Each structure stands twice: as structure tokens, then as C-alpha cells.
Structure 1
Amino acid sequence: MRAFIIPTLALGLAGLALAACVPPPSEGAGRADFQALCASCHGDGGRGDGPVGQDLSPPPADLTRLAARNGGVFPTVDVMARVDGYTHGTGAMPEFGALLTGETVLFETAPGVMTPTPLRLLDLALYIESLQR
């Protein structure tokens, strides 16, 4: 029994130490980047009704429905990949990765996989997650 408790405790303490190194996301920074980079097409509330987006074909996505379209789970990694420009479909969505560089944090992109991620990109994705209805 001790052989199990000691490694589990060590892993738990290591996880706490790692979590202490990662600054919490800043909703204010995510909101500011959303307003500067996304709102003109997706609208202030993320519904795809921004003034520039009205002239686009296909129209901008309704970002408030991303979790609903994904079985109730917000697709954080997919959103970051799309914003960064790593994945792109059709449409007028520009790549914003170069604008969201700087400080990185470790983010769990898959179970047990910690990936260095630009903090601004994560903040933006978490802000978009807050728009879900």
C-alpha cells in the first residue's frame, strides 16, 4: 500500500507545483483580444452578426453555439487551432497566431499531454467559451 501512496502523493505535489507555475487565464485580456480581432465579424456577443461579417460568404460562425454543436463540450483545442491558423476551412477567417504570441503556459491539449500554448491564445479561447449559451 505504501508504494502506491508515495508515488501518488509525489505526482499530486508535482501537479500542484506545475499548476502554481501557470498563471490563471485573464478574462479581461481574452475579452480585449476578442473585441480587437473577432467582434467585427462575429459580433460583440459572438453570434456571427458583426458589421463586417454581414458581407462575408459563408457568414461568420455563431461562436455561442460551439459547445452545443460539440455534444455540450467546448472544443478549446479546436478553437485555438482555428484562431492560430493551424487549421483552416473555407471562408474569410484570417490567421491570428502571429498576433497572439508572447508568454506561454502549459495547457492540457489531450489527456496527460501538456503543450506550451500562448497565454493570449488560451485567454481568447476561454473568453469564447464564456460566451456559450
Structure 2
Amino acid sequence: MRAQGIRLGIAGAMAATLTACTPEEMPAPSDGRALFMENCAICHGADGKGDGAMARAMRQPPPDLTLIALRRGGTFPKAEILSTIDGYARSDLSGPDMPEFGELLKGDLVPVDTGDGIMTPTPRKLVALMEYIQSIQAQR
């Protein structure tokens, strides 16, 4: 009986957290485009193909972001992309090539399902940028 009460308490806390971060409107790809141009285009290029002004000067050229889903059998890996942008998945990389974008982690949160069926509170700007990158995926 006590375990059920704990589970209900945890479920209630999670629901309150999601309710607190539920936005009026979810970020759209158009919201992320400006963030991409401001933070990413210098290396990845205006069209995301890895040919930005800084690309030739880099030790390892930036990847073509339009091919992410094609390289993964047509699936866009939301969790991986969010982790790469925020720096979490790059903690073991050396060198200054891919900067961390702390500003994208500030501000309000929105609930996002990254493919595991769980709505996770995620910074709005980070979600907007991910949505834009997903929108520029090449079609077969």
C-alpha cells in the first residue's frame, strides 16, 4: 500500500512539473532557424550541409546535418541531437570544434518526447533548434 502511495506521489509530481512547463505553443522549425543562423551556420553552413565559412579551417569538417536521418535508416534521433547540441554527448571530445551552447539551455521548458514515450521538460530554444534541424533532413 505504501509503495502505491509513493508511486502516486511521484506521478503527481511529474504531472505538476509537466503542467508547469506546458507552453502556449510548442517551438516550430521556423523558431529554430534564427537560432541555427546565429549559432550553427558559421560552421555547418546556411543550409546545414557542413560548408560554413569556418568549415575549411577546422581540423575535422562539420557534418552535413541534412543527412542525419538518412544515415540512420530514416529515423531522426531526437535525444542524440539534443545531447549533442547541449554538449552532454560531447563531454569526451577534445578540442574547440563544437562549442557548448549554454544560452540554449536558458529560458522556459517545454515537454518533449524524444522517442521513449516520456515527456521530458526541455529548454524551448534547444527544442526549436532540434525542430529546425529535423526540418532540413534530406528526402530519399
TM-score norm. by structure 2 comes to 0.75
The one of 29, 32, 41 equivalent to 1:27 is: 29
- Aligned equivalents of 1:126, 1:90: Cα separation in 2: 27
The one of 89, 108, 116 equivalent to 2:113 is: 108
Post-superposition offset of 1:28: 2.8
Asked if the contact 2:66/2:136 (under 8 Å) is kept, the reply is yes
After the TM superposition, which of the residue ranges 110-119 and 48-57 deviates more from structure 2? 110-119
| Structure of greater relative contact order (alpha carbons < 8 Å, 6+ residues apart) | 2
- Aligned equivalents of 2:115, 2:134: Cα separation in 1: 18
Instruction: Give the RMSD, CA atoms, in angstroms.
Output: 1.8
- Aligned equivalents of 1:129, 1:63: Cα separation in 2: 9
- 1:72-91 to structure 2, matched below 5 A, reads 72-88=74-90, 89=93
Which 5+ residue runs of structure 2 have no aligned equivalent?
Answer: 1-14
Q: Spell out structure 1 runs of 4+ moving beyond 4 A.
A: none
Q: Which residue identity is paired with 2:103?
A: L
Which 5+ residue runs of structure 1 have no aligned equivalent?
Answer: 1-13
- 1:44-123 to structure 2, matched below 5 A, reads 44-88=46-90, 89=93, 92-96=97-101, 98-100=102-104, 101-123=106-128
- Aligned equivalents of 1:36, 1:95: Cα separation in 2: 14
- Aligned identity (percent) is 44
